[in-house]
Amino acid sequence: MQCLNCGFENMPGLRDCVRCEGALMLGEVTVIPRRASSLRLATRLDQVFNWLHTTTIRGFSVKIFRLLPQSQNSMLWPALLRTAVPGLGHLHLGHRVAGWMFLSVWLLYLALGMATFPGELSLWLFSGAIATHSAAVVSVFAEDLSFQRIGMRALFGILLFLGLQQLVYQPIGGLIHWYWVPMIVPGNLLPGPVLAAGEGVLYEGVWLRPDQFSRGDLVLYRIPDMRGIGYYSEEGYGLDRIVGVPGDEVHVDAGRLLVNGAAPPEHEMPIGSPASIPNLFIQLHQGQYAILPTRVRFTNNIRFRDTIIKQVSVTSDSQILGRVRFRLQPWSRFGSIE
């Protein structure tokens, strides 16, 4: 009995070839292939297991990491590097319409984000810029990604978005925060000519924050929560001028402010009127600054207001976040804060 596969002459009666192990009894073999059917549970389960197999962490990571080096397009890597600015990679590849589209949309998002900075809308607009950037990178890879299933493509896009956000845009934002920190003036401040609640301002970050402050510096400081018998004050922020530095004696008497026994010049006066401050005398020690909360809105019981104000008026160095320098919002009042 000759094997059809290798041609070896086998002993009669054998079922498999002794050389290649090929079947010799072909007459018993079924030749009707199993077909895929939407009703066949086994087939569907096989497909699910196969899908799970190809999308396990190993298979998934291999797919993702092999995606980039697999590309044979020599133009792709220079284009990808240029996509650091969305659209430039497409222009490099000669896709002018797509390139200009990505570049203009990205710049538009950034411009609008800057214009509304540091409001909540700016976060959405900057996210739009990141999404545009991700789309530009995905578009550069479009040809290679077309081999992947739609789920993988979507996953690639999402991972790219998160990667760009966490590894590119967030570090850039963090770096900027070391110099300048944007913030919205907290709502517990009373409206006034210098600053009002809801305005967007920039204060100095840790790299620009001085070791020692001077009288007249407009600073953002943290008001800690305060507890005492009969009162409780929640944590918040204050924004006012420093009226006393370590070693000074600050005296408020009947609404009149005296620093070291003399009235301070105009640019060293608090933003609000000292008339709202109760009579107090502060001897400032090392690391303590006097900042009168002339613009802070206190909602506590009126009986304990004076007690709280006296406590808040002495601020330690660690509670001062930095000097407030620029106003970003509203545009009509854009500029440095004097």
Partner 1 sequence: MAGRFSNLEFDDERREEAKESSGALGTERDGWQLLEQARSAHSEGQHEAALRLYTRALQEDRRLIRAWVGQIQMLVELKEFHEARVWGDKALQLFKSNGDLLAAKAQAVIRLKDKKLALACSDGAMQSPGSSAWRWEVRGEVLMARGDGHFDVCFQKALEEPDADWFDRVIIARIYSYYRRAASAMQYLQAALEMAPAQAYSWYELGTAQQALGLLGAAQTSYERCLELRSDCREADAALRALGSISFGQWTRSVLRRWRKR
Nearer to partner 1, 93 or 223 (CB): 93
Between 77 and 298, whose beta carbon lies closer to partner 1? 77
Options 18, 47, 60, 174; binder of partner 1; rule CB under 8 A = 47
Q: Is 267 in the site for partner 1 (CB under 8 A)?
A: no
Spell out a b/e string for 131-145, using b for 16 or more CB atoms within 10 Å of the CB, else e. bbbbbbbbbbbeeeb
H or E element at residue 205: none
Binding test (CB under 8 A) with partner 1, winner from 15, 58, 96, 297:
96
Q: How many residues bind partner 1 (CB under 8 A)?
A: 37
> Residue 147 interacts with partner 1 (CB under 8 A)?
yes
Among 98, 131, 282, 324, binds partner 1 (CB under 8 A): 98
Of positions 7, 94, 230, 287, contacts partner 1 by CB under 8 A: 94
Interaction of residue 70 with partner 1, rule CB under 8 A: yes
> Interface with partner 1 includes 54 (CB under 8 A)?
yes
Q: Residue 79: name the closest of 61, 102, 60, 106 by CA.
A: 102
Cα separations (Å) of 146 from 27, 59, 71, 135, 177? 44, 18, 12, 14, 39
Contact 89, 83 (CB under 8 A): yes
Residue 22 Cα distances to 17, 25, 33, 36, 100, angstroms: 5, 9, 19, 27, 62
Interaction of residue 95 with partner 1, rule CB under 8 A: yes
> According to the binding rule CB under 8 A, does residue 150 interact with partner 1?
no
| CA separation for the pair 269, 280 (Å, rounded) | 16
Backbone phi, psi, residue 19, to 5°: -90, -55
Q: Does 91 contact partner 1 by CB under 8 A?
A: no
Per the CB < 8 A criterion, the answer to whether 109 and 132 are in contact is yes
Stretch that binds partner 1, among 23-31, 183-191, 263-271, 328-336 (CB under 8 A): 23-31
Contact residue for partner 1 among 1, 8, 10, 22 (CB under 8 A): 22
Q: How far apart are CA 243 and CA 313, in angstroms?
A: 10
Q: How many residues does the chain have?
A: 338
Stretch that binds partner 1, among 15-23, 193-201, 225-233, 250-258 (CB under 8 A): 15-23
Decide if residue 60 touches partner 1 (CB under 8 A).
no
Secondary structure of residue 259 in the 3-state scheme: strand
Q: Which of these ranges, 24-32, 103-111, 230-238, 326-334, lies near partner 1 under the rule CB under 8 A?
A: 24-32
The verdict on 32 binding partner 1 (CB under 8 A) reads yes
Distance (Å, whole) CA 137 – CA 204: 35
Q: Which of 43, 127, 273, 300 binds partner 1 (CB under 8 A)?
A: 43
Nearest-angstrom CA–CA distance, 97 and 84: 18
**Binding-site ranges for partner 1 (CB under 8 A):** 4-6, 20-23, 26-27, 29, 31-37, 40, 43, 46-47, 50, 54, 63, 66, 70-72, 94-98, 144, 146-147, 149
